[in-house]
Amino acid sequence: MWAVVAVAARSFAAGQFWGERRRVALFSPVEWARARSAFSFEVLARLPGGGGRAGLITTPHGQIRTPAFIPVGTAAAVKGATPEQMAALGAQALLANAYHLYLRPGPAVVEEAGGLGAFMNWPGPTFTDSGGFQVLSLGAGFKKVLAMDTAGLADDQVIAKGSERLATVDDDGVTFRSHLDGSRHRFTPEVSMRVQHQLGADIIFAFDECTTLMNTRPYQERSLARTQAWAERCLAEHARLTALSPARPYQALFGVVQGAQFEDLRRRGARDLAGLELAGGGFDGYGIGGALEKENLATIVGWVCSELPEARPRHLLGISEVGDLFAAVAAGADTFDCVAPARSARHGAIYSADGRYNVTRAAHARDFGPLDADCDCYTCQSYSRAYLHHLLRARELLGYTLATIHNERFIVRLVDSMRAAIESGGDAFARLRDGFLNRYSGG
């Protein structure tokens, strides 16, 4: 017997929306299970007395040992580094952005090239986010800021100082203007799924609305309901597209939990997503998204993880600060992504075991030691702080590459050490965390 789902299809024209329902034949349950078997997650070790765990994600293009940091190549490239360099520094997977690739070069180009991995010459697992974060970025102008200080502020029409609103959200989707040329576009859950299927990443995310912490409680409630409705539509479209291309490698779909800083909304969002079932199964994993109060990050991640299925991986979107990573791993997050290591590197901000510092400061002009004496990366084994100081001050492109290699390796290696500590058992993770953070913060 064939599984059949009714899909709500909506179109946009001249500001008007209309809906129709169409029945789409999907895989039989046996065929659907066979397709999804190309993706799996296994918990291999647990953190005593906490939610943290070490595991193994299997995708059609390879495995990811978790916890793991996933470097971001927004436009199918980590700025300043080649895919070969990313592999050499220990990256297990890379994440690209569906919104940016939709605008340039276009998903059809990536599909014709053989998918994201083939297009960028990366043989390992790949992720694409849904474009939902760009709704926040374009709509409110906060760019990369996810951990916000919003004491005393509440405004549903909030916009960052000096920014122009380029996106508007309604219950059906998002209308936005390109940041490249001002052209008008429309993203719905179905469009996001189609774009991500064309891009061909191993792990893709459901289209969601990412709010700021400045939005009021009533708006957060409406947004959570909207994200849930979009998640159902994403599941339906994902199933339809998977059935249309049975020869393609299976793409795992992750639902995204929102709810801002409110415990009841976060828990409800997680439970509602976990309860969705379609054609024999729900989401393959879950993302934890939205702006977070930095001091409550571990608590919020803990709320969400306690409501999600143990047998599914959890990805915390947009986080890479050292303290945040330790807190999130202990609370149960499995994978992470963030542009910060590469972006910081291009501005001369260097991670080290003794804390972050700016190598472009005059104090490093004659420092012929490595960026970090404890680091095993190519940059630290081959070049000095003085040389990086010179390159970055002179705006030589090599400086961006060498600094990026180091910062990405630092974060990748740090999360790898957390995984090893969890696998070791006992109090190894606590000892690693306490010793590392004590030194990193200067005691």
Distance CA 440, CA 166 (A): 39
Distance CA 418, CA 95 (A): 21
Under 8 Å between Cβ of 285 and 203: yes
Which residues, other chains included, contact 352 with Cβ-Cβ below 8 Å and sequence gap of 6+?
A: 371, 372, 374, 375, 410
Distance CA 311, CA 303 (A): 17
Under 8 Å between Cβ of 38 and 294: no
What residue type is assigned to position 398 of the chain? L
Chain mean position to CA 428: 27
Q: Residues 334, 274, 299, 221: is their CA dihedral positive or negative?
A: positive
Known catalytic residues? Answer: 129, 337
Distance CA 209, CA 256 (A): 9
Under 8 Å between Cβ of 98 and 192: yes
Task: Tell me what percent of the chain is helix, strand and coil, each rounded to the nearest 5.
Answer: 40, 20, 40
